[in-house]
Structure 1
Amino acid sequence: MRDTRPVLDDSVVLIDGPWRHRFVDANGIRFHVAEQGTGPLILLLHGFPEFWWTWHRQMPALAGAGYRVAAVDLRGYGASDKPPRGYDAYTMASDVIGLIRALGERDAVVVGHDLGGLLGFAAAGFHPRSVRRLVVLSSAHPLRQRAALAVDPRGQLAASRHILKFQLPRFEHVVTRDDAAMVASLMSHWAGPQWRGTPEFDAYVRACRDAIQLPQAAFCALEAYRWALRTALRVAGRRFVRLLQEPLKVPTLQLHGSRDTCILPRTAQGSGRYVTANYEWRLLRGVGHFPQLEAPDTVTSEILRWCKE
C-alpha cells in the first residue's frame, strides 16, 4: 500500500516558547538554534534520536538565572543543514566550537546528552580553551565507551546492539518505517520506569518521531555511528584515539541515570580516569537515559551549580 502521509518540513521542530529561533552559519553549514536569555553562554547539545527540544525544561530556568542559553540542532538533525558528509567526530566537535564563535563568544559551558555528551568530551579535548566547563548526561568518554564495547560483551555491547544494526546499508528506512516506530521502541526501552508511559513521555516521543522523519534526518543521524565503527581500525580512528588520550583539562560534571539501559552506568562511570581537571560523578536514582526530562529540576540545579563553581 502506498504511503500517503505528507512530507514533514522544518516547522515541526520550530516549537514556540519563551525562546527565539535563529539560524547561524558555523563550520561551513547552517545550524538551527533556540536561544533565550542574556549573560555567559551555555550551549546545549542533544543526543540520538532527538533534537533541541530535549532541553525545553532547562532553558527558562537557566535563562532566568542569568545565562544566555542556546539549544542547537546538531548537524543532520532538526532544522539544521543535512549535508551528505561531515559526521566524523572531528568535524562535529569543530561544529561545537564553530557555534560558540558564531554566537559571538570566545568560550561557553557545554552541556551534552548522549551523542551530545560524546561531542562535548571531544570538543573539550580538542579545544580546551573554548569550553569553560563541561556537563555530560547519559554518555561516556569516547575511549571509555570504546573499551566497554570490547570488554563487556554481555553488558555495554549488548546494550549497543542498535548501533550494530545502524551499520547496515539503507537502515535509515527501517528507522523511519511505520511512522518511526523504531524510535518509539528504543526510547521506551531506554527511559526510566517512572517517566515511561506518562503523557509527557508520549508527547516527547511523538515529537522525536516527527523530527527523525524530516528528509535525510535519519540517514544523517546514523552516519555518525557508522563513522565510529568504520574507522575503528583505520588511520583516522587511531588518530582520534591518540588525540583523546591526552587528559582532559576542562572541569567536568557527569550526571547519569541508575536505570539507563543505553549507556550503562558502569560504562559511564569509568570516564573520570580521562579527566585531570576537577571532576564529579553523580548517579541519579531511578532515572533512565533522559535525565533532563525525567529529573528536570535536579539536572537544572546541577548545571547551575557547576556553572557557578
Structure 2
Amino acid sequence: MSDKQGTLWQDGPWEHRFVAANGARFHVVLAGPEAGELVVLLHGFPQFWWAWRAQITALAQAGYRVAAMDLRGFGGSDKPPTGHSTPVLTADVGGVVRSLGRERAVVVGHDFGGTLAWSMPVLEPRVTRAVAVLAAPHPVPLLRPDNHLSARARAFLTRIQVPWFPERALRRGDLVARVLTDASAPGRKVPAEELHAYQSVMRMPSVAHTSLEHLRWLVRSTPRPDGRRYLAAMASPVSVPVLSVQGGADRFTPPRAFAADAAHVHSPLRTAVVPGAGHLLPEEAPDAVSELLLEFLASLRD
C-alpha cells in the first residue's frame, strides 16, 4: 500500500499532491475547479483521505475546490514521533490552507477530524470560513468526565492508553476490523474494500503509533497545562456557521453526547441526523452526507 498502486495513491477524478505546512509535509488529494471555494476534508480514525472519496467527487462536481488531506501521522503525510496534539494538528490545517494559496476555507471534519474542525474557528480563525462536523461533539463537553460517550467508545479510548499492545493489534491483529465494526450501525458488514484499505495503510511504517498519539493526547492532556490551555481556548464561542451531522444509529457518539454543543456556538448552528447510519457517516451514508454538505455550502452564499 505504500507504493503508488495502492489505495493511498488511488487514481480518480482528483490529483495527489504533497503540501508543505507547519514544518511538515502533507499528502493532499485535490479536485474541482481551482477558482472554486476551498473545502478542506479531515478524516477520522483509523482512516485517511480515501474515507471522503464519495464527497470529493460530489463537491468537486458542484464547483468547489476540494482538498482531502491525510492528517499528520496518517497515510502519506509526515509521521514525526512527537507533536501530535490537537493544537498542532489544527495549525497543520491552517498551514495547508495558506500553502494552497487561499485565505479562507470551509473545514469539514469527521470523528477526530471533527474535533479539529471544531478547533479551527478558535485556534485558526483567520482561515476558517465555516465548519461542518460529522459524528463529533464539541471538544469541551467531549473531554469532560461526563461526556456521554458510549461504553464502546470509552472502552476503546481506555484500551489505547497502554503502550505498544494497541499498535501491535492495529498492525497484526484485528483491531482495525473491530473498530470499524463497532463504529458502524448495528448489522452493517464492513465492506472488504474498506477493511483492506484501512488495514493496509495502518501497516505502513509508524502509522499505527502516530495515529494513536492524537487520541492519546486528547485523554492524557486534560489534567496537564497544555490540555488545560487548549480547553480554556475552546471555551470561547464558535462564531462561524456550523453544521453538525449525527448518525441515527451511532454506537460511539449517541445523541446525548451532542446535547451541550449549542452552548458553544454563537453563530448559526444547523443540525441533522441521518437515520440508520452509524459513526462512519461519509461511507455509511455517502449520498446523504454529500447532500447535507452541499446544502450547507450553498447556505453560506446567502
Match in the other structure for 2:76: 79
Alpha-carbon offset, residue 16 of structure 1 = 1.0
DSSP-derived class of the 1:56 partner: helix
Match in the other structure for 2:13: 18
Residues in 1 aligned to 2:31 and 2:57: alpha-carbon distance in whole angstroms:
7
Higher mean alpha-carbon deviation, 134-143 vs 257-266, is at: 257-266
Query: Could you state the TM-score of these two structures normalised by the residue count of structure 1?
Result: 0.91
Alpha-carbon offset, residue 158 of structure 1 = 5.0
1:47-196 alignment runs, 5 A limit: 47-147=44-144, 150-151=145-146, 155-156=149-150, 159-178=153-172, 180-193=173-186, 196=188
Residues in 2 aligned to 1:103 and 1:111: alpha-carbon distance in whole angstroms:
16
1:238-253 alignment runs, 5 A limit: 238-253=228-243
Residues in 2 aligned to 1:10 and 1:53: alpha-carbon distance in whole angstroms:
15
| Preserved contact between residue 93 and residue 122 of structure 1 (Cα < 8 Å) | yes
**Is structure 2 residue 42 aligned with structure 1 residue 42?**
no
Aligned AA for 2:10? Answer: I
Alpha-carbon offset, residue 152 of structure 1 = 5.6
Shift in CA distance, 152/98, structure 1 to aligned 2, threshold 3 Å: closer
Match in the other structure for 1:273: 263
Higher mean alpha-carbon deviation, 266-275 vs 45-54, is at: 266-275
Runs of 4+ in 1 over 4 A off after TM superposition: none
Alpha-carbon offset, residue 98 of structure 1 = 0.5
DSSP-derived class of the 1:105 partner: coil
RMSD (Å), alpha carbons = 1.6
Match in the other structure for 2:291: 301
| Preserved contact between residue 251 and residue 278 of structure 1 (Cα < 8 Å) | yes
Shift in CA distance, 95/17, structure 1 to aligned 2, threshold 3 Å: same
Match in the other structure for 1:3: none
Aligned AA for 2:136? Answer: S
Alpha-carbon offset, residue 62 of structure 1 = 0.6
| Preserved contact between residue 165 and residue 171 of structure 1 (Cα < 8 Å) | no
Query: Could you state the TM-score of these two structures normalised by the residue count of structure 2?
Result: 0.93
Alpha-carbon offset, residue 31 of structure 1 = 0.3
Length, aligned pairs only:
295
In the alignment, structure 1 segments of 5+ residues that lack a partner are: 1-7
Residues in 2 aligned to 1:296 and 1:158: alpha-carbon distance in whole angstroms:
24
| Preserved contact between residue 235 and residue 264 of structure 2 (Cα < 8 Å) | yes
Which residue of 208, 215, 233 corresponds with 2:198?
208
Residues in 2 aligned to 1:193 and 1:157: alpha-carbon distance in whole angstroms:
15
Aligned AA for 1:139? Answer: A
DSSP-derived class of the 1:151 partner: coil
Percent identity of the aligned residues? Answer: 38
Q: Deviations over 1:241-264 (max 9, x none)?
A: 110101010110000101111222
| Preserved contact between residue 75 and residue 92 of structure 1 (Cα < 8 Å) | yes
Aligned AA for 2:109? Answer: G
DSSP-derived class of the 1:23 partner: strand
